[in-house]
Amino acid sequence: SRISSLVPRAMAFLLAIALASTAYTAPQRPLGRALGASVWLQPLPAQLSRVTPAPPALVCMDGGSESPYEGWPTFIRPDTNGGVIGLTVLGVGVPFIIYSALLAAGLDEVKAGQLFIAVYVGIGTVAWTFSYVFRVANKDTTYAQQLKDYETAVLEKRLEELDESEVEALMAEVDKE
């Protein structure tokens, strides 16, 4: 059939893209920075630039800018260009492999497509739901981060408004505890 003859060609194309993305050896930069600035342009000198530089795309809890994906293979690190390409190839290639396996198992094209879509969408929905519930439970949502940043800013502002004697009194009280 026509669809089964396209599967090997599509797989070869996806494999070529995956190999090309892992062979790229330029310095790894967070994807947000790569999309926000052109690779070909040099930054403006400080006296010409009126825009403050953006903070690192990924910041660790200790204030560093190391990626949480250190040690991961380049082609699956979601914070690099190669990783985005590799994960896209996997996300598109794996379904083709599964569909081909269902066809090889003897299912006709319609039944294989229906079964695959039901399982693929079902697994995707359940995975997304669990990841969302996990982020909410760990307070790793945008709202929770904004609330934490706001509370920190309010406390910093209140600390700035205190006299030195009041700050020393607070420090003495904290040292007692």
Tens of pLDDT, residues 58-70: 444 444 556 778 8
State residue 84 phi and psi, 5-degree precision: -65, -45
pLDDT of residue 104: 92
Averaged confidence pLDDT in the chain: 75
pLDDT of residue 39: 42
Residue, of 14 and 114, whose pLDDT is higher? 114
Residue 99 has pLDDT above 50, yes or no: yes
pLDDT of residue 56: 45
Could you tell me the two tokens for 89? 């190839």
Largest CA distance in the chain: 84
DSSP 123-172: HHHHHHHHHHHHHHHTT-SHHHHHHHHHHHHHHHHHHHHS-HHHHHHHHH
CA distance 102 to 9: 18
pTM above 0.85, yes or no: no
- Other beta carbons within 10 angstroms of residue 92's beta carbon come to 14
CA distance 120 to 133: 20
| pLDDT tens by residue, 9-47 | 776 776 666 666 555 544 444 444 444 444 444 444 444
Residue 170 has pLDDT above 80, yes or no: yes
Closest CA to 99 of 121, 117, 126: 117
pLDDT of residue 3: 59
